[in-house]
Amino acid sequence: MTFLEKLRAAQKRSQSLLCVGLDTDWRKLPESLKGEANPVLAFNKALIEATSDIACCYKLQMAYYEAYGERGIAAVRETLALIPNHILTIADVKRGDIGATTDLYAYAYQDLFEFDAVTVSPYMGFDAAEPFLRREDKGAFFLGLTSNKSARDFEYLELKNGKLLYEEITDKVREWNAPKQNAGLVVGATKPSELRALRERAPELPFLIPGVGAQGGTIKDVMENNGSGLALINISRGIAGASNGPDFAEAARKASMKYVEEMRAA
């Protein structure tokens, strides 16, 4: 099954575009998990059980697991084993390095951990991206226009050719996507009008859209401006942080349902 087929099938089955962000901070877990052997894993397990029928994707922000040392790496493996096979998994790593190094990153996230996709920083250009695009069953989402304030520093720079930097990158990602249809773009939900323009510019690219909830984006804005384009809408804190009490999983499900209903209504 190609990356695109898996993405489409997961969305059809869940009837949603919901990507649940598992950005699990070991320092901020509900008290009720403190007795667990690996509290991070226990948290993820409860969250997956509470949302796997309405999520089409889980995204693990690797910073949280790297900062937890070896236990974090073990938690990544074990979390992935708990996610049903028909649901997409993304390693949010934003890697990008010379080819020989990216080879290793591709091995790590595609073969060792067996994620379906990764996020990639495009700065170093194609040879830093290409190892992530060799397999047609694995995808790579490139940073296009990110959800943070300082996206203004470089992403919006005006080029001599009349484009903005993030537009130039989008055009390149379209080229990189052409051979195997396995590239996508990260576009922040916090920039609705730019999202609309990028959707017109790259109608065929799947978008990974973070920034709904804590960062200020809304489902309504995303749905209106993304239209019928392929998209994964990521929510992390809005779901995982819905409650910090023993009812965290139940609260996460309620929050997820609310987001999914907004998606379905649009």
Residue among 51, 17, 65 nearest 184 (CA): 17
CB of 122 to a copy of itself, least distance (A): 7
Measured from the CB atom, is 5 or 123 closer to a copy of itself?
A: 123
Applying CB under 8 A, does 198 fall inside the site for a copy of itself?
Answer: no
Residues 37-96 binding a copy of itself (CB under 8 A) are: 61, 63-64, 66-67, 69-70, 73-74, 77, 92, 94-96
CA end-to-end distance (rounded Å), the chain: 29
Angle at 154 between CA 207 and CA 94, to 5 degrees: 45
31 lies in the binding site for a copy of itself (CB under 8 A): no
Say whether 94 is catalytic.
yes
Which one of the listed residues 59, 94, 138, 191 is annotated catalytic?
A: 94
- What six digits make up the tokens of 207? 């978008």
Whether 211 contacts 217, CB under 8 Å: yes
The helix/strand/coil state of 244 is coil
Residues 6+ apart with CB under 8 A from 136: 2, 3, 180, 181, 182
Q: Is 171 an interacting residue with respect to a copy of itself (CB under 8 A)?
A: no
Give the 3-state secondary structure of residue 58.
strand
Q: CA–CA separation, 249 vs 7, rounded Å?
A: 25
**Separation of CA 28 from chain center:** 22
Q: Which of 215, 218, 243, 244 binds a copy of itself (CB under 8 A)?
A: 215
Six-digit token string for 221: 């804005």
CA dihedral 192, 22, 15, 138 (to 10 degrees): 90
Tell me: does residue 179 bind a copy of itself (CB under 8 A): no
Q: Which is nearer to a copy of itself, 100 or 265 (CB)?
A: 100
Q: How far apart are CA 55 and CA 214, in angstroms?
A: 19
| Residue 104 touches a copy of itself, criterion: CB under 8 A | yes
In this chain, which of 85, 161, 193, 228 binds a copy of itself, going by CB under 8 A? 161
Return the structure tokens found at 42. 């226990």
Window of 51-59, 150-158, 191-199, 220-228 that interacts with a copy of itself by CB under 8 A: 150-158
- Selected from 32, 101, 243, 244, the binder of a copy of itself by CB under 8 A is 101
Among 42, 48, 169, 249, binds a copy of itself (CB under 8 A): 169
Q: Does 184 bind a copy of itself (CB under 8 A)?
A: no
**Catalytic center residues:** 94
Q: Which residues form the interface with a copy of itself (CB under 8 A)?
A: 23, 25, 61, 63-64, 66-67, 69-70, 73-74, 77, 92, 94-99, 101-102, 104-105, 107-108, 112, 121-128, 143, 146-155, 157-161, 165, 168-169, 172, 215
